[in-house]
Amino acid sequence: MDSGHVNGRRQVAHGLALSVVLLGTLAYYVASRQGTASAMNQSPPRDALAAVESTAPSAAVPDPNPAHTLRHSGFAPSVERWRSMSREATWTAQQATGVSLDEDILLALVAVESGGKPAARSPRGAVGLVQVEPATFEELRSRYHQLLAGQSLEQPHVNLLAGALYVADCTRVLGADLADPDDLALVLHAYNIGPRAVAEWRDNGSWLDQTERGAQLEDGLPPETVEYATRIMVAINSARI
């Protein structure tokens, strides 16, 4: 066989081999494209969905108390900032006294007494967010030693707790129902001038006003006490609109 024929057959063989390679490559390309399209049309596996779902933001947990969910607060931001701390204070007071106290009552005291300013001071020496007098705080500390021992009335959370405990004490002394507006007004009168004075006035029509100038029997509650209770009740109602 001469060299020309050999070279010609080699060229044909090389051409066939190259064609096979090209056809194989083309077939692989087409198959891979079809596989990608098929994969894109398929639902992702559950493991993949779980991974995506685990990174998605979770929905807010609803407040278990329906009253909180329905409430549209009318308190100013300077008062609303103390809501979570007030909620904790009222819960602690309930555990200690058995009196269920709505946090809006405490926040209304904050609104009227201090406007949300923790450093507020009154001319009579009342301190803090709910304006608790030091003498009243000492009485509370003697009754609730485990809660208030070593605490300072100037600390906002302690001040709110002292206020909640005092409201609870006034409620118990008067046998009041805080859900009753008339009873709530009595408790707020008591917060201002003391539960014993208000109990005397309710039961006897008069009360003994004891001051530095002496003791005087009064037939009616002081106008400023009545106005004080009214302002707080207006603030509570505004918060629940």
On whether both 187 and 84 belong to a single domain, the answer is yes
Q: Give Cα 74 distance to the centre of its chain.
A: 15
On whether both 42 and 94 belong to a single domain, the answer is no
What pLDDT was estimated at residue 213?
62
- Is 60 a domain residue? no
On whether both 114 and 211 belong to a single domain, the answer is yes
On whether both 123 and 51 belong to a single domain, the answer is no
On whether both 101 and 47 belong to a single domain, the answer is no
The per-residue pLDDT for range 82-140, each reduced to its tens digit, is 999 999 999 999 999 999 999 999 999 999 999 999 999 999 899 999 999 999 999 99
Domain that holds residue 125: 75-239
- Is 201 a domain residue? yes
The per-residue pLDDT for range 154-195, each reduced to its tens digit, is 999 999 999 999 999 999 999 999 999 999 999 999 999 999
Residues with Cβ within 8 Å of residue 13, at least 6 apart in sequence:
none
The per-residue pLDDT for range 50-70, each reduced to its tens digit, is 332 333 333 333 343 444 444
What pLDDT was estimated at residue 29?
36
Q: Which two tokens stand for residue 216?
A: 């005087």
- Considering only 31-35, 193-197, 219-223, which range has the smallest mean pLDDT? 31-35
What pLDDT was estimated at residue 94?
97
Amino acid at the residue 95: Q
The percentage of the chain sitting over the pLDDT mark of 70, rounded to a whole number, equals 68
pLDDT band, very low/low/confident/very high, at 219 (cuts 50, 70, 90): confident
- Is 61 a domain residue? no
**How does DSSP assign the chain, residue by residue?**
--HHHHHHHHHHHHHHHHHHHHHHHHHHHHHHHHHHHHHHHSPPPHHHHHHHHHHSPPPPPPPS-HHHHH----S-HHHHTTHHHHHHHHHHHHHHH-----HHHHHHHHHHHTTT-TT-B-TT--BTTTTB-HHHHHHHHHHSHHHHTT--TTSHHHHHHHHHHHHHHHHHHHT--TTSHHHHHHHHHHHHH-HHHHHHHHHHS-EEEEETTEEEEESS--HHHHHHHHHHHHHHHHHT-
What pLDDT was estimated at residue 212?
62
On whether both 144 and 116 belong to a single domain, the answer is yes
What pLDDT was estimated at residue 241?
75
Residue 155 belongs to domain with CATH number: 1.10.530.10
- Considering only 8-12, 122-126, 227-231, which range has the smallest mean pLDDT? 8-12
- Is 46 a domain residue? yes
On whether both 181 and 228 belong to a single domain, the answer is yes
On whether both 40 and 137 belong to a single domain, the answer is no
- Is 67 a domain residue? no
What pLDDT was estimated at residue 240?
82
pLDDT band, very low/low/confident/very high, at 48 (cuts 50, 70, 90): very low
| Mean pLDDT along residues 12-34 | 39
- Is 98 a domain residue? yes
Check whether 153 has a pLDDT greater than 90: yes
Check whether 2 has a pLDDT greater than 50: no
On whether both 139 and 44 belong to a single domain, the answer is no
On whether both 86 and 170 belong to a single domain, the answer is yes
- Is 69 a domain residue? no
Specify the number of domains making up the chain: 2
| Mean pLDDT along residues 193-215 | 85
On whether both 51 and 80 belong to a single domain, the answer is no
What pLDDT was estimated at residue 33?
41
On whether both 126 and 212 belong to a single domain, the answer is yes
- Is 199 a domain residue? yes
What pLDDT was estimated at residue 99?
97
